[in-house]
Homo-oligomer: A and B are copies of this chain.
Amino acid sequence: MHIYTKKQIEAALDVPALIKKIEEGLVYYAKKQTITAPTSFLTFDHPRADIHIKSGSISEDEYYVVKIASGFYENPLRGLPSSNGLLLLFSRDTGALQAILLDEGRLTDVRTAIAGAISAKYMAPPSVTTIGIIGTGTQAREQLYHLQFVTPCRKVLVWGRDEPKAHLFAQDPLFSDFQIGVAKSIDALAASCNLIITTTSSHDPLLFAHQLKQGTHITAVGADDGEKQEIDSSVFDVADLIAVDSLLQCSKWGDLSHAKNKESLVIRELGDIIEHPPNRAEHAITLADLTGIAVEDLQIAKEVYSKLREIGS
């Protein structure tokens, strides 16, 4: 049994390999070749915290995964990151624990961002003019960082409720290759961007149909618990194609759960879009609604574990 620290794990992140592995996982999921338990939620007050526990495997796999990811929202007031957690890989053959990945929530952030990059890879317009990032937190950074691997566009507008944080984001040395401007409003951002990523924990819709340019793709990663919402129902009404990581989860907790006219929507699971990429019309508006699924945790844990063993950590 192997135990790895966050530092070891971070040294073993190979983004192109992870994109490939998570794409494979999404395809297995869409083909119903995975075995997953419903996500377990724990919610605490004093201090305020959410814990998500995801678990599962692919039908014919060597491993199963259990992933615990927490958000302790008062941690930043004490100089601690809000995210924490770990991943456990077990043998599907004997049940023996194979690896403990003490990622402190990092792999959840990364696989979420990679699912966003995969959505953009298959759904964004062929020529992305400006990337719009709504939100200025950890996931906003992870999303932009991982988009580098799927689009050559380096022009970005960022918007956040807290404008100083948006400026900090724009000046982040991680993004020295980008030209990043701060948008005064979501209206202004949407007017200039044809690839928009929403990464907030908003409980009210931020993005509306009337704000969107034709030919825009939106990836929404914030809503994952039934109370959060970033995308107004009107966006679903005008979208030509909607991708979801999990139809089951997005119907319950995603932005999709707030859509009013579900029966008239064209919805496909992301794994199905990977297998059968759509022909994007020039003016099409598309949307990916992501809630995070256990098979992504499984695939990132397997890939990282394999890399860690390869480099002899």
Q: Which of A89-97, A168-176, A204-212, A237-245 contacts B (4 or more CB under 8 A)?
A: A89-97
Which of A38, A42, A85 neighbours the largest number of chain B CB atoms within 10 Å of its CB? Answer: A42
Q: Which of A46-54, A118-126, A146-154 contacts B (4 or more CB under 8 A)?
A: A46-54
Q: Which residues from chain B contact A49 at a C-beta distance below 8 Å? A: 92, 95
Given A35-B43, A51-B55, A53-B40 in contact, is the A84-B95 Cβ separation under 8 Å? yes
Say whether A80 contacts B94, CB under 8 Å: yes
Given A51-B55, A53-B66, A70-B95 in contact, is the A35-B44 Cβ separation under 8 Å? yes
Determine how many copies of this chain the complex contains: 2
Q: Is A273 an interface residue (CB 8 A)?
A: no
Q: Is A86 an interface residue (CB 8 A)?
A: yes
Expressed in whole angstroms, the Cα–Cα distance for A84 and B43 within the complex equals: 27
Beyond the given A40-B55, A53-B55, A66-B68, could you list 11 further A-B residue pairs with CB under 8 A, ordered by the A residue number? A35-B42, A36-B42, A38-B40, A49-B92, A49-B95, A51-B64, A80-B94, A84-B90, A84-B95, A84-B97, A85-B95
> Contact residues of A with B, CB < 8 Å?
1, 3, 35-38, 40-44, 47, 49, 51, 53, 55-57, 64, 66, 68, 70-72, 75, 78, 80, 84-86, 88, 90, 92-97, 100, 102
